[in-house]
Amino acid sequence: MADFGNFAIAIALTFCAFALFSLFYGARTGRRELVKSGERAVLAVFAFTTLAVVALEVLLLRSDFSIEYVASYSNRDLPIFYKMASLWGGQRGSLLFWSWILTGFTALVAFRNRQYAGKLVPYTLGILSITSAFFLIMNKFGANPFQQLVVDHGDGMQRVFTAKDGNGLNPLLQHPAMVIHPPMLYLGYVGFVVPFAFCMAALLTRELGAGWIKMARRWTLFAWIFLGTGILLGGRWAYVELGWGGYWAWDPVENASLMPWLTGTAFLHSVIVQERKNMLKVWNVSLILVTYLLAIFGTFLTRSGIVSSVHAFAQSSIGTYFLVFLIGISAFALYLVLTRLEFLKSDNQLDSYASREASFLFNNLVLLAACFAVFWGTLFPVFSELIQGEQVTVGAPFFNKINIPIAMFLLFLTGVGPLLAWRKTSWESMKHIFLWPVVIGVVTAIICIVGGIRSIYPVMSLSLSAFVLTTLVSEFNRGTRARMRNTGENAITALIGLVMTNKRRYGGYVTHLGFLLLIVGFTGQAFTTEGWGEVKQGDTFTIGKYDFACVSVQDISDPNYSGMSATLDVSSKGKKIARLSPEKRFYPASEQTTSEVRMHHTPLEDVYVVFANIKEDTEAAVIQVWINPLVSWVWLGGYVLVGGTIITLLPNRRERRIAKQKRSVEKLLEDAELVSK
Amino acid sequence: MSGNAAGENGPFSAQALRARWLKARLVKSRRPGRFPGLRGALVFAVFMILAPAAFAQSAKTMLEDPALATRFNEVSDRLVCQCGCQMILRVCNHVNCPSAVPMRQSIEKQLLAGSTDDAIVQGFVDEYGMKVLSSPPATGFNLAAYVMPGFVLLIGLFIAGYVASRWSAKRKLVTASAAPVDVDPDMQKRIDDEIRMDKS
């Protein structure tokens, strides 16, 4: 089966090389049959990469421990669900998974545009195939997941052997969120390759009109929402599984996923300015390129080990592959942009700083500043080691210090930007629009201060959130009333009609509402209460307003692990609200111990309980408790964010009708041509 | 009071977990075994050596004096666990962590002995180097870590301001209607247009 997988990758790579040649050469020379055969080759690349993935899954399910990857990331007792997820549990498998998604997206682009007769799509498929070829080369030569397990018996000779059992998947990864989180992230990362390909194809063909930007925007939105969902699921996993009371630690891996998401967000805003005002063409092209490079860079960052130490880079063979590819593609992209500047001329004109386009400009600036701060903080240890010869750590305190003010400014722009008019908003108009939001924001700040909040950022965050919420509500309110006046519909029908006739605008507002909820949720971290208690059966302790009574401490066992569990009754003001049983598990296969957190959720706070330890002198269970305010708002914000994006992605009835009419006209013209022949 | 002492007989003691692990291995050995030979023996030996320390992990601090507990949190927030997990020392909860547990024990001991926060942190810097700090000190080259993001934002603002002023020079002064009416005329027009287009 391993040979079959290897063979499938080799065939996929061969088809990829053929696709590259036939797509570029066919499009350049106008030989439609070559382009068609390139498109079919792209489908074949996907088919053979799928076979390679299937081969690895079969090896994992069969527990074939003659394969190094299977022996490293699976074991016999691992549940089937996690055995399948081991595909992305390690570096080699996850890179094959990357290739599979990328070749799938390439096939999807080819299939959806099979009727397209111009040059843009063949070039796009060609660019996608370049990235596919890079990853397939790595799958074949740099990080082959089908490599056999070998041992050195001390005589210098390496011999193939089959292990009797495997190391198992890291217990921390044995969680449903961790099964969904990496595919979501990969869909996001890989999704950003498609708009990049459209952009490069537009530069190569000099077809820099509205066509490519429309396709690039939809794919960016698609990638952006998957990456965002992946990031949130990662946070959810960290919160539930790691047991340290939080969901975001500014780890380099987390930062790597956040950076392209930030630049993608900037693009999704600035592209509106290009569509409406024919401005910022060079800027949008640059944002697409940067987002793509950051997506690849993120994979490089997490897979090369460069952040833990510059020396770790040399130990990882794939680091060199990535570095060469990144430099090569950056140089090529820069060359294309510089040589196509004359085709990227925009009608740049700004009537006022109090305009929608100016607010988008600031929004982009702030998002890029946030991205740079994350990039700089993540790579500063590398720079420090190179320049000072000494490693430093850049942890959460640094990122919080730098990024919280930036997030506040972004929140402010979220409230202001959408309400400003294109070209210019008069002072009178601004007074009319912003009076109530400002009043409510100030009142919220006063309530916060009177309520005892003395830190500046929580007060700012909550008052700005109130300001933004009021602007959003007033925008929906005014739109609904305008529609009611025109159609005579009731409020709910008018609201639904309002959203459905301009999904992009109002879906965007819903997304802003999600962002707002996220910020409120993040603010809750400023009010976390933490404590612990030592309990035996019948003992109690109190943290904040909650009392914890230990019902029992008992052993637990499972074929995959064994451990202990403490059962606690949680009550507040004498009323029982939950029974929680946090666990401490020991996984023999990987010789790791983990904490299984148990929580009681309310809309206002989470009671987060961890079985920390057994105190050996007293034999009491040590229970760590966090009272985390507003965490549910983070997850709710995530759902709203996804919901808003889905609304913007829904097909537009009007656009569909126009496209249908266009297709009918094209068919009529084709028929007429045939008749005349 | 320091609560990191390892006892002998707890159900979650090193012995109990070691026994549970051995039992698990015994059960597994009835099926085809794990990696044979030297590697397996080494893993077992390392586990036997590390186990007592590994399972004696504290729940962060067990200092009962609230002032000392607060200082413990502040000091451990300034440090990073050195096992490679890159987590802030206060929040690192790896049960098998050979770094966080002794570091936290050391902080507790030094706090009880009357050391200042800075002296405790400096002691760790002397032992592990600058990488033990959760944020680099704002001195020398490390100052660049703090200055650069702000500097880049300022440069960006300057460029954006310059570009915007150039674009403004080309502007055509068309002022949007601004009458403070119940519903914006602009919005009313847009909504009317949308409804008309939708119906057509």
Strands A540-543 and A529-535, how do they pair? Answer: unpaired
- Does A242 contact B at CB distance below 8 Å? yes
- pLDDT of residue A200 exceeding 90, the answer is yes
Provide the pLDDT for residue A134: 93
Pick from A350, A377, A425: CB nearest B145: A377
Distance to chain B for A425, nearest Cα, Å: 6
Give per-residue pLDDT as tens, A459-514.
999 999 999 999 999 989 988 998 888 888 888 999 998 888 888 889 999 999 99
CA gap B87, A248 in Å, rounded: 11
Give per-residue pLDDT as tens, B151-178.
998 998 898 888 888 877 765 544 444 4
Contact A427 B187 (CB under 8 A): no
- Residue owning tokens 């924001």: A441
Mean pLDDT confidence for A507-524: 93
Q: B-chain residues within 8 Å CB-CB of A613?
A: 12, 55-59
Provide the pLDDT for residue A131: 93
CA gap A215, A146 in Å, rounded: 37
- pLDDT of residue A63 exceeding 90, the answer is no
Q: How many CA atoms lie within 13 A of A401 on its CB side?
A: 15
Provide the pLDDT for residue B162: 85
- Binned at pLDDT 50, 70 and 90, residue A439 comes out as very high
Instruction: Let me know: does A597 contact A609? Beta carbons within 8 Å.
Output: yes
Contact A352 B171 (CB under 8 A): yes
Provide the pLDDT for residue B197: 65
Q: B-chain residues within 8 Å CB-CB of A479?
A: 187, 191
Instruction: Let me know: does A86 contact A79? Beta carbons within 8 Å.
Output: no
For B154, which residue in chain A has the nearest alpha carbon? A369
Provide the pLDDT for residue B7: 31
- Binned at pLDDT 50, 70 and 90, residue A555 comes out as confident
- Of chain A, the percentage scoring pLDDT greater than 70 comes to 94
Q: A-chain residues within 8 Å CB-CB of B96?
A: 592-593
- Does A245 contact B at CB distance below 8 Å? yes
Give per-residue pLDDT as tens, A201-237.
999 988 887 778 888 888 999 999 999 999 999 898 8
* Chain A (353-372) residues lying within 8 Å, Cβ to Cβ, of chain B: 353, 358, 361-362, 365, 368-369, 372
Rounded to 5°, angle at Cα A45 from A40 and A49: 150
Q: Which of A308, A615, A623, A653 to mutate to test the interface with B (most CBs of B within 10 A)?
A: A615
Token duo for residue A83: 């055995």
How many beta-carbon pairs below 8 A join chains A and B? 274
Mean pLDDT confidence for A279-287: 87
Who's near A205: CB < 8 A, 6+ residues apart? A27, A118, A119, A120, A123
- pLDDT of residue A44 exceeding 60, the answer is yes
Contact A165 B31 (CB under 8 A): yes
Mean pLDDT confidence for A553-570: 87
Provide the pLDDT for residue B61: 63
Is the whole model's pTM more than 0.90, yes or no? Answer: no
Rounded to 5°, angle at Cα A666 from A664 and A670: 115
For B200, which residue in chain A has the nearest alpha carbon? A654
Provide the pLDDT for residue A422: 79
Q: Does A666 or A27 have the greater pLDDT score?
A: A27
Q: What is the mean pLDDT of chain A?
A: 87
Pick from B167, B183, B187: CB nearest A349: B167
Q: What backbone torsions phi and psi does residue A593 show, to the nearest 5 degrees?
A: -115, 135
Contact A393 B132 (CB under 8 A): yes
CA gap A193, A173 in Å, rounded: 27
Contact B134 A427 (CB under 8 A): no
- Binned at pLDDT 50, 70 and 90, residue A291 comes out as very high
Tell me which residue of A271, A257, A177 sits closest to A224, measured CA to CA: A257
Instruction: Let me know: does A182 contact A169? Beta carbons within 8 Å.
Output: no
For A583, which residue in chain B has the nearest alpha carbon? B12
Pick from B17, B59, B80: CB nearest A532: B59
Q: A-chain residues within 8 Å CB-CB of B92?
A: 244
- pLDDT of residue A300 exceeding 70, the answer is yes
Contact A165 B24 (CB under 8 A): no
Who's near A229: CB < 8 A, 6+ residues apart? A184, A188, A638, A642
Contact A165 B32 (CB under 8 A): yes
- Binned at pLDDT 50, 70 and 90, residue A311 comes out as very low
Give per-residue pLDDT as tens, A76-134.
878 888 888 888 888 889 899 999 999 999 999 999 887 777 788 999 999 999 999 99
Q: Which amino acid is at A137?
A: I
Q: What is the CA radius of gyration of chain A?
A: 28
Token duo for residue A579: 């029974």
If one counts every other C-beta atom within 10 angstroms of the C-beta of residue B60, the result is 26
- Of chain A, the percentage scoring pLDDT greater than 90 comes to 42
Which ranges of chain B have pLDDT less than 50? 1-15, 17-18, 20-59, 173-181
Provide the pLDDT for residue B39: 44
Find how far residue A209's CA is from the centre of its chain.
29
Q: Which helix (H) or strand (E) holds A569?
A: strand A562-572
- Does A541 contact B at CB distance below 8 Å? no
Q: A-chain residues within 8 Å CB-CB of B184?
A: 429, 432-433, 478
Q: Does B95 or A521 have the greater pLDDT score?
A: A521
- Does A425 contact B at CB distance below 8 Å? yes
Distance to chain B for A296, nearest Cα, Å: 22
Q: B-chain residues within 8 Å CB-CB of A653?
A: 198
Provide the pLDDT for residue B60: 57
- pLDDT of residue A631 exceeding 90, the answer is yes
Q: What is the CA radius of gyration of chain B?
A: 31
- Does A62 contact B at CB distance below 8 Å? no
- Does A249 contact B at CB distance below 8 Å? yes
Instruction: Let me know: does A630 contact A517? Beta carbons within 8 Å.
Output: no
Provide the pLDDT for residue A84: 87
